[in-house]
Amino acid sequence: MNSFSYVKKAIKRKKLSLQTVADACQMTKGYLSQLINDKIKNPSAQKLQSLHQYLQIEESDKNKKIGVIFGKFYPLHTGHIHLIQRAISQVDELYVILCSDTLRDMALFKQSAMSRQPTINDRIRWLLQTFKYQKNIHIELLEEDGIPAYPNGWFEWSERVKKLFIDKGIHPNCVYSSEPQDVAMYKDLFNLDTVLIDPKRKFMQVSGTQIRQAPLQNWQYIPTEVRPFFVRTVAILGGESSGKSTLVNKLANVFNTTSAWEYGRNYVFSHLGGDERALQYADYDKIALGHAQYIDFAIKHANKVSFIDTDFVTTQAFCKKYEGKEHPFLQAMINNYRFDLVILLGNNTPWIADGLRSLGSRKQRKDFQQLLISILEKNNIKYIQIDSPNYEERYLRCIELVNQLINNEEY
């Protein structure tokens, strides 16, 4: 019996309903359903021709070589990418199956040095973004919850995989893998041959375990689309004229990376004529959004670590100081943007007027510093305060703290 699964795949790819296709090709929905599920031995040649024309199926589509790859991609690394690119060069269509298991994935995170756990959506996004220009690579999700842990549970796992294949219309000819120990099971349970790619890790000497244990030390193996997840962020806080911007610039230069400058200063010039007296409550959410864009851009292009000049806590402190109340949007940004290291500079350096600063008296500077601390503590944000008024000592202490952060050491 011929297989017409390629018709099912064409319908799914075009996101058409069975009824729409059946009506267009002058057949019943029931007939079409039986056809694509291989229940009709001798289908009408006229109906097949109609389907091919409507769905724009080429004759070669019926005999495509289909490959499949399974993996946790926790995280995706260049070894995975090498495997996938080698595979797609040998087949017409490749299905990359992302395997997830809630308990297993949580355990992997707890055993890792990662600062936060990647979600399933993170992992899908990494794959989709990395291969978005290769339209013959398809990403699917397989939930493995409830299946006995590897290497047990092969039979239960295979049943779930077979169901996924049926649901998605996947009919693979071969499996691509770097794991020799799995070859026999793929043959026994799926009757599929396995093509092994770099099983001894000679081309890419990396594993997901290595990256989870020391992501920044294995930076060269982390793909472009994955790196922002692992970037460590350092926020430098302080009152007016505390040397934040200069220090951020120095640190970004010495660590050869990016920084996010304080958007509020740009906003005052671009929207308020360069005078903070025109600032009002309605401006603070716009300032926060602009600063978030600066932060996101800096993280995306960072080299292991990125430095943030002023955070949303500081913006909230200014809002409370000038407007007499906190802004709910700023609070939402405080909740959503958490930094790996927060450094609070003592507000005890020489006061330098630059036309935008207004809190220059000793009392004003002390009061604003206490306001910053109160908001940090209210939001359970850990911070390290550097009280030395000496710029050199501040700079060296920051370098020490950042190196500890990068090397996963205690502060």
pLDDT per residue as tens digits for the range 291-305: 999 999 999 999 999
Confidence at 163, pLDDT banded by 50, 70, 90: very high
Give the pLDDT of residue 276. Answer: 75
Is the model's pLDDT at 284 over the cut of 80? yes
Give the pLDDT of residue 59. Answer: 58
Rounded to whole angstroms, how far apart are CA atoms 233 and 54? 52
The per-residue b/e assignment along 88-114, b for 16 or more CB within 10 angstroms, e otherwise, is: beebebbbbbbbbbeebbeebeeebeb
Q: What is the pTM of this model?
A: 0.80
Rounded to whole angstroms, how far apart are CA atoms 62 and 82? 28
CA 405, 256, 337, 99 dihedral sign is negative
Question: 245 — phi, psi (to 5°)?
Answer: -65, -45
Nearest partner of 76 among 195, 180, 230, 202, judged by Cα: 230
Specify whether the CB–CB gap between 231 and 302 falls below 8 A: yes
- Cβ contacts of 392 within 8 Å, gap of 6 or more: none
Specify whether the CB–CB gap between 10 and 61 falls below 8 A: yes
Angle, CA 303 vertex, CA 297 and CA 307 arms, to 5°: 60
Specify whether the CB–CB gap between 308 and 235 falls below 8 A: yes
Rounded to whole angstroms, how far apart are CA atoms 175 and 94? 10
In the three-class reduction of DSSP (H, G, I as helix; E, B as strand; rest coil), residue 64 is classed as coil
Is the model's pLDDT at 61 over the cut of 60? no
Rounded to whole angstroms, how far apart are CA atoms 290 and 266? 9
Is the model's pLDDT at 2 over the cut of 60? no
Give the pLDDT of residue 12. Answer: 82
DSSP string, 73-136: -TT--HHHHHHHHHHHTT-SEEEEEEEE-HHHHHHHHHTS--SSPPPHHHHHHHHHHHTTT-TT
The pLDDT tens digits for 202-250 are 888 889 999 999 999 999 999 999 999 999 999 999 887 778 889 999 9
**Which tokens belong to 124?**
């899908």
Is the model's pLDDT at 1 over the cut of 50? no
The pLDDT tens digits for 74-114 are 999 999 999 999 999 999 999 999 999 999 999 999 999 99
**Which tokens belong to 181?**
């120990």
Residue type (1 letter), 108: L
Q: What is the mean pLDDT of the chain?
A: 90
